Amino acid sequence: MLIGQSTEHGSEKPFHAINPATGEQLAPAFGSGTVLDVERACALADQAFDAYRETTLAQRAAFLEKIADNLIDIGPALIERAMQESGLPQVRLEGERGRTVGQLRLFAKVVGDGAWLATALDSALPKRTPPRPDMRLRKIALGPVAVFGASNFPLAFSVAGGDTASALAAGCPVVVKAHGAHPGTSELVAKAVQAAVAACGLPEGVFSMLHGDGRTIGQALVSHPAIKAVGFTGSRQGGMALVRAAAQRAEPIPVYAEMSSSNPMFLLPNALARHAARIGSGFIDSLTLGAGQFCTNPGLVVAMGGPDLDAFCAAAVTALEGKPASTMLTPGIYAAYNDGVSRLAGAPGVTLLARGQQGNTACAGKGALFATDAATFLANPALEEEVFGASSLVIKCSEIGQLRQIAEYLDGQLTATVFLEQDDQQEARGLLPVLERKAGRILVNGYPTGVEVCHAMVHGGPFPATSDSRSTSVGASAIDRFLRPVSYQDLPSWLLPEALQDDNPLQLWRVRDGVPVRA
């Protein structure tokens, strides 16, 4: 564990990472932390907060860039350890490291631009009746943030992933609860962050990382009064446990939990008629990518029944039967996936269309494709539940209005995809308003796996996709989760923060008396 600038072995229950491809324990043993370790990490974060949140934009951007440089400098050792702990292939993890570094550099640029401060200045109007005082606004960091590492992205959604990067960009110290599936990877990354803290001369409490049981360490972390927000990616059960813990505090705090999503694909009639086979094979490529262990995996397909959907299904079956099983991240995830597939296979009115090929590793997950009709789906809420892995359900509609009926019925989603042609315009216009209410990202003629890290990305959505539909965990807007507005009335010029001074030393775009200006 890394608590501030100290490095120490947890004194509680030792544990090992498991290689999911072989089932073997990996050395070394890691020690779990205690509630006292949580107290130390949170106390350091609290002490660091005021100094860190008032670092200059240039200092904070340089810190994020230094973390990115340090991650690159680890070299092959990071990828090798992550491969052992996750079963993910080298090329995937090298791409994920690139994404992690890219996120850090994106937030360095976001910080430097300063637009996130949302500065506004309203001049005093002493002769108005009633008089208006001088009013100025900026956003400031919320406070220390607890971040929970995710199982399915050992780099991009973990110790130095998007939640950590956006919280540090906002000016919030971070205490990470590392995921138990990849402790060695987490330690390597945490040391890179710790080294960046020291190299940039920042308070040691800006970053800490703990190991330990989620119920003990996680609950203690979320309940600690120094923690002012939480970032989490994982199961609905885990996310809601944190939401409840945060709500029961004397001071409730926000939990930004990304949880479950089935990511429906709607195939409109003309697109299906013209491209059934191509869409079907591409769908299977998306479904089985990374053993289906993406939060944007296409778990539902909705279309009109008939020869065109039959052609789609035939192409999908052929493609899936040719896909080898892939190693899943942990024995627990593998077991849960098989339970979900068995549940679908035993559901009344659901037909198994195809399975992927058998695997030869300890946790090899075979893809699964099922089909049902709209009436059966609408009558059984359990069919909507996410199966985390390469499993999907095709829903056959008997009339076009059922596509919208199913869209209305669905819970909140991270994504919703529509395949369409120009002559599907009427159906698309009817579907779009429903999908805007249901999903954080709407795609046309593409597949939902793959989340671009950019300014326009939303990786969020209505419950249960996330616990707060107003936010995103990916993209530049992720910083907003960890900020709050402060208004300053009639402060003397010598007391004003730089972002609000009249001569605009930071050269920010600001709203001055209702007009956006760089002055």
**Predicted model pTM:** 0.96
Helices (H) and strands (E) in the chain, counts: 14, 23
Percent of the chain topping pLDDT 70: 100
Residue 423: what pLDDT?
A: 97
> pLDDT for 341-387, tens place per residue?
999 999 999 999 999 999 989 999 999 999 999 999 999 999 999 99
Reported as a pLDDT band with limits 50, 70 and 90, residue 519 is confident
Identify the CATH number of the domain in which residue 291 sits: 3.40.309.10
The mean pLDDT value of the chain amounts to: 97
- Rounded to an integer, the average pLDDT of 456-469 is 97
Residue 316: what pLDDT?
A: 98
User: Can you point out the beta strands (E) in 52-163?
Assistant: 120-122, 135-141, 145-148
Residue 215: what pLDDT?
A: 83
Residue 277: what pLDDT?
A: 98
> pLDDT for 43-96, tens place per residue?
999 999 999 999 999 999 999 999 999 999 999 999 999 999 999 999 999 999
d(CA 139, CA 244): 27
- Claim to verify: residue 200 and residue 306 sit in the same structural domain: no
Task: Give a yes or no: residue 53 inside a domain.
Answer: yes
- CB-CB contact of 151 with 333 (8 Å): yes
> pLDDT for 79-90, tens place per residue?
999 999 999 999
- Claim to verify: residue 420 and residue 274 sit in the same structural domain: yes
- Claim to verify: residue 272 and residue 337 sit in the same structural domain: yes
Q: Is 295 a catalytic residue?
A: yes
Q: Is 258 a catalytic residue?
A: yes
- Rounded to an integer, the average pLDDT of 318-337 is 96
**What are the phi and psi torsion angles at 395 (to 5°)?**
-110, 115
What's the farthest any 2 CA atoms get from each other in the chain? Answer: 81
Domain that holds residue 317: 264-444
Task: Give a yes or no: residue 460 inside a domain.
Answer: no
Total number of domains constituting the chain:
2
- Claim to verify: residue 277 and residue 402 sit in the same structural domain: yes
Helix (H) or strand (E) holding 265: strand 264-267
Residue 147: what pLDDT?
A: 98
Task: Give a yes or no: residue 226 inside a domain.
Answer: yes
> pLDDT for 379-401, tens place per residue?
999 999 999 999 999 999 999 99
- Claim to verify: residue 255 and residue 268 sit in the same structural domain: no
Report the relative pairing of strands 135-141 and 483-489 from DSSP bridges. antiparallel
Residue 432: what pLDDT?
A: 98
> pLDDT for 36-46, tens place per residue?
999 999 999 99
- Claim to verify: residue 273 and residue 248 sit in the same structural domain: no
Task: Give a yes or no: residue 512 inside a domain.
Answer: no
The angle subtended at Cα 331 by Cα 328 and Cα 337, nearest 5°, is 60
- Claim to verify: residue 216 and residue 114 sit in the same structural domain: yes
- Claim to verify: residue 315 and residue 245 sit in the same structural domain: no
- Claim to verify: residue 167 and residue 51 sit in the same structural domain: yes
- Claim to verify: residue 233 and residue 272 sit in the same structural domain: no
Identify the CATH number of the domain in which residue 130 sits: 3.40.605.10
Closest by Cα among 256, 224, 314 to 473 = 256
- Rounded to an integer, the average pLDDT of 189-209 is 98
Q: Is 63 helix (H, G, I), strand (E, B) or coil?
A: helix
Task: Give a yes or no: residue 490 inside a domain.
Answer: no
Task: Give a yes or no: residue 165 inside a domain.
Answer: yes
Reported as a pLDDT band with limits 50, 70 and 90, residue 213 is confident
Q: Which residue has the tokens 């009115």?
A: 349
Query: Exactly one of 65, 187, 204, 295 is catalytic; which is it?
Result: 295
- Claim to verify: residue 298 and residue 327 sit in the same structural domain: yes
- Rounded to an integer, the average pLDDT of 197-211 is 98
Query: Exactly one of 65, 85, 258, 384 is catalytic; which is it?
Result: 258
The burial class, CB within 10 Å (0-12 / 13-18 / 19+), for 73 is: exposed
- Claim to verify: residue 174 and residue 307 sit in the same structural domain: no
Lowest model confidence (mean pLDDT) among 95-99, 214-218, 336-340:
214-218
Task: Give a yes or no: residue 401 inside a domain.
Answer: yes
Q: Is 41 helix (H, G, I), strand (E, B) or coil?
A: helix
- CB-CB contact of 33 with 12 (8 Å): yes
What is the DSSP code (8-state) at residue 466?
B
